[in-house]
């Protein structure tokens, strides 16, 4: 449904020929929804939080990249476009994340909202004053139950549109931009799609999850999550499983103030976009064409019968990952190690196994260290 709405906006943009549409999408900190919608509707630009975090781009660097795209299109006589923005983008920008963290600490210390701007650090105060008034008000809103910012209430798309317009005016005065006046229209698509009818795939997926849940209840399992893998295959080839919630949790450390003792809080942290995955590679291959060629795609509404009724998300169909299959493969290798390393094996074999296991354990410990979950910049393999 989001992709259909975006494609409608794309057609309106190319028809009017004078507006840039900034569209913010739900999805919290990860950009999965935005990536899927980009592959479905082919907008001109997608600003992914994971890319921004990995490159450590500042707010003005993000703005300049958007402005460069606008300028490149203007040189082709195009003064319209569509940009997709995940709602978690603002937390992926290092200085914005640090500002949000300072505000969060002051909230936790019960500092009145009116006094927070005067109690943040000098650099944070300077950034706070630089931001438009509407963003300042939204950043001061009380956090969610997990101490994160209310991302759905922060109009990131309006912030970017505001700053891009200011930069384009500056470039015009300096003679670097000679196109038409930049004009923007902002949208936030979330509840429209969340309240839509489910597709046939959605129905199959929900039915299977319910079926797994029934078996978990019958087996007396609690604290587990129903999971399904191989979703790109026909339903009869799906792999069902139950994963313990604790296996996916790590302890997030919250500081109540400078010099305070960190308070541990277990949580399941979001899984970011795999920037080495096939879905992301496909987007990068098409990025230049999307930016300059107006290669818009119109997926249309959800179909329940006939052609297109069994359509699945593009990100599912092009990935070849079998999560549960990989876990079974790991178990097979561990069983082989147990078979080889047993009482009676040579001392050299035992030493080699111990050395290898120490190395593997050390690497996995570093990769899954709880403190990594605190960083605003994701670490990729």
The helices-and-strands tally (H runs, E runs) of the chain is: 16, 8
With a cut of 80, say whether residue 258 has pLDDT above it: no
Give domain status of residue 373, yes or no. Answer: no
What whole-number percentage of the chain has pLDDT above 90? 15
Asked if residue 49 belongs to a domain, the reply is: yes
Same domain for 202 and 222? yes
My answer on whether 154 and 23 are in the same domain is: yes
Query: What is the pTM for the complete model shown?
Result: 0.76
Same domain, 170 and 281: yes
Q: Which residue has the tokens 């899954």?
A: 368
Residue 315 belongs to a domain:
no
Confidence of residue 108 (pLDDT cuts 50, 70, 90): confident
Quick one: pLDDT at residue 203?
93
Q: Which has more confidence, 320 or 372?
A: 320
| Average pLDDT value for residue range 164-191 | 86
- Whether residue 51 is found in the same domain as residue 141: yes
160 and 51 inside one domain: yes
Residues ≥6 apart with Cβ < 8 Å to 18: 79, 80, 180, 183
Are the CB atoms for 34 and 314 separated by under 8 Å? no
| Domain assignment present for 313 | no
pLDDT in tens, 265-280: 777 777 888 888 888 8
Q: Which residue range is the domain that position 213 belongs to? A: 197-254+263-271
Q: Using an 8 Å Cβ cutoff, are 54 and 274 in contact?
A: no
Q: Looking at the structure, do residues 247 and 354 belong to the same domain, yes or no?
A: no
Same structural domain, 41 and 127: yes
**pLDDT for residue 253 is more than 70:** no
Burial string for 173-212 (b: 16+ CB within 10 Å, else e) reads eeeebebeebebbbbbbbeebeeeeebbbeebbeebeeeb
Residue 208: pLDDT band (50, 70, 90) is very high
| Confidence tier at 373 by pLDDT (50, 70, 90) | very low
Q: Answer yes or no: are the C-beta atoms of 80 and 114 closer than 8 Å.
A: no
Together in a domain, 76 and 165: yes
Number of structural domains (the chain) is: 3
Do residues 242 and 97 share a domain? Answer: no
Q: Classify residue 243 by burial, with Cβ atoms within 10 Å: 0-12, 13-18, 19+.
A: middle
Tell me if 379 is assigned to some domain.
no
Residue range 45-102, pLDDT digits in tens: 998 888 888 888 888 888 999 999 988 888 888 889 999 999 888 888 888 888 888 8
Name the β-bridge partners of 241: 227
Q: What is the pLDDT of residue 262?
A: 61
Torsion of CA 31, 32, 35, 39, to 10 degrees: -170
């Amino acid at each position: 449904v989001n992709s259909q709405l975006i494609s409608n906006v794309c057609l309106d943009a190319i028809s009017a020929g004078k507006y840039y549409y900034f569209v913010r999408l739900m999805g919290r900190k990860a950009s999965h929804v935005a990536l899927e919608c980009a592959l479905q509707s082919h907008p001109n630009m997608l600003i992914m939080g994971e890319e921004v975090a990995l490159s450590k781009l500042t707010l003005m660097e993000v703005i300049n990249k958007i402005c460069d795209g606008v300028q490149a299109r203007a040189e082709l006589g195009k003064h319209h476009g569509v940009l997709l923005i995940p709602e978690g983008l603002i937390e992926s920008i290092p200085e914005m994340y640090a500002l949000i963290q300072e505000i969060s600490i002051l909230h936790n210390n019960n500092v009145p909202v009116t006094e927070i701007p005067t109690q943040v650090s000098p650099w944070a105060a300077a950034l706070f004053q630089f931001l438009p008034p509407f963003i300042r008000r939204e950043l001061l809103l009380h956090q969610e139950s997990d101490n994160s910012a209310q991302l759905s209430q922060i109009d990131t798309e309006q912030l970017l549109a505001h700053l891009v317009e200011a930069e384009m005016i500056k470039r015009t005065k300096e003679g670097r931009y000679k196109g038409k006046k930049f004009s923007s229209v902002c949208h936030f698509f979330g509840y429209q799609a969340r309240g839509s009818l489910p597709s046939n795939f959605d129905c199959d997926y929900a039915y299977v999850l319910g079926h797994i849940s029934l078996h978990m209840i019958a087996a007396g399992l609690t604290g587990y999550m129903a999971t399904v893998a191989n979703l790109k295959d026909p339903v009869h080839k799906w792999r069902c499983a139950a994963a313990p919630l604790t296996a996916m949790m790590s302890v997030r450390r919250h500081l109540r103030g400078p010099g305070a003792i960190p308070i541990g809080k277990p949580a399941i942290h979001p899984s970011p976009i795999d920037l080495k995955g096939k879905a992301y590679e496909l987007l990068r291959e098409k990025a230049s064409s999307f930016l300059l060629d107006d290669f818009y795609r119109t997926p249309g509404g959800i179909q329940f019968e006939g052609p297109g009724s069994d359509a699945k998300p593009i990100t599912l169909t092009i990935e070849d990952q079998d999560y549960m299959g990989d876990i079974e493969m790991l178990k097979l290798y561990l069983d082989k190690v147990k078979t080889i390393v047993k009482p009676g094996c040579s001392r050299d074999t035992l030493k080699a196994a111990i050395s290898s296991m120490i190395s593997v354990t050390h690497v996995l410990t570093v990769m899954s260290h709880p403190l990594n979950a605190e960083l605003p910049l994701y670490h990729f393999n």
